[in-house]
Structure 1
Amino acid sequence: MSESTSTVSATAVAPPKGGGKRKLSLPVILLIVAAGLLLFSLVRTISGANDLTSIGQISGALQLAVPIGLAGLGGLWAERAGVVNIGLEGMMILGTWFGAWAGYQWGPWTGVLLGIVGGALGGVLHAIMTVTFNVNHIVSGVAINILAVGATRYLSDFTFAEAAGGSSKQSPRIDRITDITIPGLSEGLADLQAKHWFFVSDLAGVLGGLVTNLSLLTVLALLLVPATWWILWRTGFGLRLRSCGENPVAAESLGVNVYKYKYIAVIVSGALAGLGGAFLVIVSTGIYQEGQTGGRGYIGLAAMIFGNWMPGGLALGAGLFGFTDSLKLRGGADNVHAMLLLLAILLVAAAAWQLYKKKYLPAVVSAVVAGALFLWYSMTDKLPSQFVDAAPYVATLLVLALSAQRLRMPKADGMPYKKGQGK
C-alpha cells in the first residue's frame, strides 16, 4: 500500500476529533486490577464467602469465559470490517457439532480443526448473503442461527444416534486435551489461598487459577486476544480491513478490495466462533449436547460491545461474564449473595464520582440503589434460586447499560455497501 493510501486510510479509521480518550498505560491497568482485587478481598472478608476468589473459582471462570471471548473476538473481526454478525450463536452451534463429530472419531485436535471449519462455513454463508447479495445483516444472522439448530439436529439423527454411547441429542465421550499444571507453584499457591489472608490469599487464588489444570486450548485461545490486536492495529492488512468498517467508499477509492476484506473478516469471525463451540465440547464438557451453547454467542456479542470493539475490553467483558456464571455454579446462592455487597460498594463509589462531576441526579439514583442493595444484603442470608440462575444474564444487561454512553462502533458497521457506489 502506498504512503498516500496509508495516510488516508489511517484518517478513515481514526476516531473523530475530540472524541478520543487517553489510552491506559500498563501501570494504570495494573493499579486498576489491584484495586479490583482489593475490593473483592474486602467483600470476601465481610461476607465470609471464601470461595469468591479461590483457585477453583478462577479456574472455572476462565473455562467459562473462553467460549464467550472467542465468540466476542469473532464479532470484533466482522464488525471492524463493517458486518454485524448476529449469527455468532449459530456458528458456535456448528462448531460444537463438527468438533464433536470429528473429535470422538479422530481425536480432540482433529475436533478442534473441524470445529473451526464448521464455524467458518457459517461465516461463508453470512458473507455471501450480506456482502454479495446485500441482505440485511440482522436477518442473515438470525437465519443462520435457525439453520444451525435445524442442521445439527438433523445430522445428529444419523451420526451420533448410531454411535456407541451416543444418541440423537448427544455425542459419545471425547478424549480430553492435555492440561497444564506447574508443579510446586500450583501447590504453593493453593496452600496460600487456603489460609484466607486478606488480599494475599486472594492474589494467590487468582494466580493459582491461571496455572492449575490449564488446557492447551485455553492457552491458545488466550493468545488469540493479543494476536487479534496486533493484526488489526499494527499491520497494513488490519488497517485496510478496519477502513472497510469505517469508510468503505474511501477505502475503495484508494484501491482496497472492500469485498475481499469483508469476506476475510466474516469467515475469520465464523472460524473463531466455531473454535469457541469446539472448546465447549472438547474442553468444558467432553461431550456434545443439543443446545449446550446456551446463548454464549449473544453474550460474546455483548462482551464485544462492552469492550468498545477492542480486544482488551472484550477480554475483560468475557472474564466478567465467565466469573458471574462461575459464581452460579460454585457456591451458588452464597457467592451471588456476596456480590450484592460488591455492587452496593461500587454504586457508592459511582455516586461519589458523580457528585464530584456535579451530576446530582445520577448520584442520587446511584446512592438510593446502593442503599437498597445494602438493605437487601443485610436482611437476607441467601438469594432465591431463580435470581441465582439469572445472575449471568442480569450482569450482561447491567454492564451494557452502564457502558452504553462511552461506546463508539465502526462508522459503517451494518451499513449496506455496493462496489462502486462512491463513483
Structure 2
Amino acid sequence: MATGIKVGAELEAPRKAIFRLTWKTLLLAIAALVVLLSVIRVITGANDITSGGTMNAAIGLAVPIAMAGLGGLWAERAGVVNIGLEGMMMLGTWFGAWAGVQFANPWAGVVAGLVGGAVGGLLHALATVTFGVDHIISGVAINILGLGVTQYLSKQIFTGMQGGGETQSPPIPGITKVSLPGIDGPLSSLEKQHIFLLSDLAGILRGLFVDVSLLTIVAILLIPLSFFVLWRTAFGLRLRSCGERPVAAESLGVNVYKYKYIAVVVSGAMAGLGGAFLSIVASGIYREGQTAGRGFIGLAAMIFGNWRPGGLAAGAALFGYTDALQLRGGGLSVHALLLVVVVLLVAVTVWQATRARVRPAAIAGVMAALVLVYYLVTDTIPQEFTQFTPHLVTLLVLSLAAQRLRMPAADGVIYRKGQTG
C-alpha cells in the first residue's frame, strides 16, 4: 500500500497551488481583527461587539453551523455533494429531543441525534453511491423527508406530553456548563472598565472560557480531530482519493464504495450532532423549524473554508458572530460593524490591486465607498436589516472567496465501480 499512498498523495498535484493558512498567519489575522474591533468599539461606543455575552452567544450559534459544515466536508472530500445537511439536522433535533426527554438524560439525546443524522446520511449514500442518483436530487429529497418525518413524529409522540405539542417537545434536561476557575470575576471587572484592547481581550476570553457547555467543547474538538483523520492518516488519504480520482484509487485497491459510505454516514452524524445541539443546548426544547437554514449556512461555511476544517471553523465563527451581534446588540452594534466591513473591503481592494486585478479591486473599492457613505448618513440599522445580517455576510464572504476556491476534483461526479474514466 506504500505505492498507493505515494500516488494518492499526488492526487491534488496537477492543480494549481493555493494559499495555505499557517498557524502564524492565523494568529496574526486574529490579533489584527481584535485590534480592529477594539478601535471600532472606542470610536462608536458599541460595547457589545467584543462583550463576553456576545462572544459566548457567538460560540453557541457557530457550533451547529460548524457541525453541518464539517458534515459537508466529510461527504464532499469523498466526492459526494451533500445538500441534505438541513434534513439531517432536522432529524438530529427531533431524535435528540425525544431521547433526551424519554431517558431524562441529555447525553442520550446527543447519541440519538448522532444516530438520527447518520440514518439520513445512510439514505443519501444508498441513493447516490449504490443507485447513482444525482447528488442534488437526493439531497433535496433528504431535506423534504427530514421535514416530513419530524412533523409526523412530533404529532404522534409529543402531543399529549406535559409541556409538549404538535410542534414542540417537553423541556429537555440541560448539559453541564463549565468555566475555568477563578477567571470570571477579574475578567468581568476588566471588561466593564472599557479600556482599549484590554477590556476587549477580557470580554473575548470571558466568552470563550466561562459558562461553556460540555457539548460545545466536544463539538469544537471534532474539528481538529477531523483534520487529523482526513489529512494525517492512511484512512483519510484513501477517503480523499475517492473525491479526487476514484478510478485511480480503485486501481490501487481502495474500496471506493466503502469509503464513500463511511464519509456520508459520518457526514449525517455530524449534521445530526449540530441538530441535537440546537434542541438540547441552544434552546432546551425541540421546536419545528428550529434549524432555520443552518444546514445550508454550514454548507456555505465549508465552501468559504475551501473544503478544509480550519477555514470551515473560521466561516462558522463569522456567521455565528454576526448572528449573535444582531441578536444582542441590535441595530447599533450592526451599524458599528459597517466600519469593520469598510476596513476589510479596503484591504481587499489593496490586495487585489497589488496583484494587478483591476476589476476585483475596483468592485471592492466601490463597495467600501458605498458602505462608508451609508454608515455616515445613518445612526442605526433597521431591525429588518439586522435580522438579515448573517445571510448577507454569507453572500459577501462567498463572493469574496470565490476566486480561491478549489473543490475536490470528483465532487458530485457519479461513480460506478469498474469504470475507466
TM-score, normalization: structure 2?
Answer: 0.98
Moved more, 83-92 or 377-386: 377-386
Per-residue deviation at 1:376? 1.2
Distance between the aligned counterparts of 1:360 and 1:85, measured in 2? 35
Distance between the aligned counterparts of 1:213 and 1:239, measured in 2? 38
Unaligned runs of 5+ in 2: none
Moved more, 281-290 or 153-162: 153-162
Instruction: Pick the aligned partner of 1:277 from 275, 278, 302.
Output: 275
Instruction: Pick the aligned partner of 1:103 from 96, 100, 105.
Output: 100
Q: Find the counterpart in structure 1 of residue 46 from structure 2.
A: 49
Change (3 A) 1:207 1:332: same
Q: Find the counterpart in structure 1 of residue 77 from structure 2.
A: 80
Distance between the aligned counterparts of 1:354 and 1:399, measured in 2? 15
Instruction: Pick the aligned partner of 1:164 from 153, 162, 165.
Output: 162
Question: Is 1:63 equivalent to 2:60 in the alignment?
Answer: yes
What number of residue pairs does the alignment pair up?
Answer: 420
Which secondary structure state, in structure 2, belongs to the residue aligned with residue 395 of structure 1?
helix
Q: Find the counterpart in structure 1 of residue 178 from structure 2.
A: 180
Instruction: Pick the aligned partner of 1:145 from 140, 143, 146.
Output: 143
Runs of 4+ in 1 over 6 A off after TM superposition: none
Q: Find the counterpart in structure 2 of residue 6 from structure 1.
A: 5
Per-residue deviation at 1:16? 2.5
Instruction: Pick the aligned partner of 1:358 from 356, 359, 363.
Output: 356
Q: Is the 8 A contact 2:77 2:239 kept in 1?
A: yes
Distance between the aligned counterparts of 1:3 and 1:364, measured in 2? 49
CA offsets 1:91-149 (integer angstroms, 9 cap, x no match): 00000000000001211000000000000000000000000000000000000100110
CA offsets 1:314-366 (integer angstroms, 9 cap, x no match): 00000000001001110111111111111112222222333333333433332
Which secondary structure state, in structure 2, belongs to the residue aligned with residue 37 of structure 1?
helix
Question: Is 1:90 equivalent to 2:97 in the alignment?
Answer: no
Letter in 2 for 1:62: I
Distance between the aligned counterparts of 1:366 and 1:10, measured in 2? 37
Instruction: Pick the aligned partner of 2:37 from 36, 40, 54.
Output: 40
Distance between the aligned counterparts of 1:285 and 1:94, measured in 2? 16
Letter in 2 for 1:23: R
Q: Compute the RMSD of aligned alpha carbons.
A: 1.2
Which secondary structure state, in structure 2, belongs to the residue aligned with residue 112 of structure 1?
helix
Distance between the aligned counterparts of 1:252 and 1:365, measured in 2? 45
Change (3 A) 1:15 1:388: farther
Q: Is the 8 A contact 2:69 2:295 kept in 1?
A: yes
Moved more, 366-375 or 296-305: 366-375
Per-residue deviation at 1:22? 5.1
Change (3 A) 1:15 1:207: farther
Q: Find the counterpart in structure 2 of residue 239 from structure 1.
A: 237
Q: Is the 8 A contact 2:121 2:267 kept in 1?
A: yes
Distance between the aligned counterparts of 1:168 and 1:15, measured in 2? 53
Percent identity of the aligned residues?
Answer: 59
Which secondary structure state, in structure 2, belongs to the residue aligned with residue 381 of structure 1?
coil
Question: Is 1:23 equivalent to 2:6 in the alignment?
Answer: no
TM-score, normalization: structure 1?
Answer: 0.97
Q: Is the 8 A contact 2:301 2:315 kept in 1?
A: yes
Per-residue deviation at 1:368? 2.5
Distance between the aligned counterparts of 1:143 and 1:353, measured in 2? 42
Change (3 A) 1:346 1:4: same
Letter in 1 for 2:3: S
CA offsets 1:293-332 (integer angstroms, 9 cap, x no match): 0000000000000000000000000000000100111011
Q: Find the counterpart in structure 2 of residue 296 from structure 1.
A: 294
Unaligned runs of 5+ in 1: none
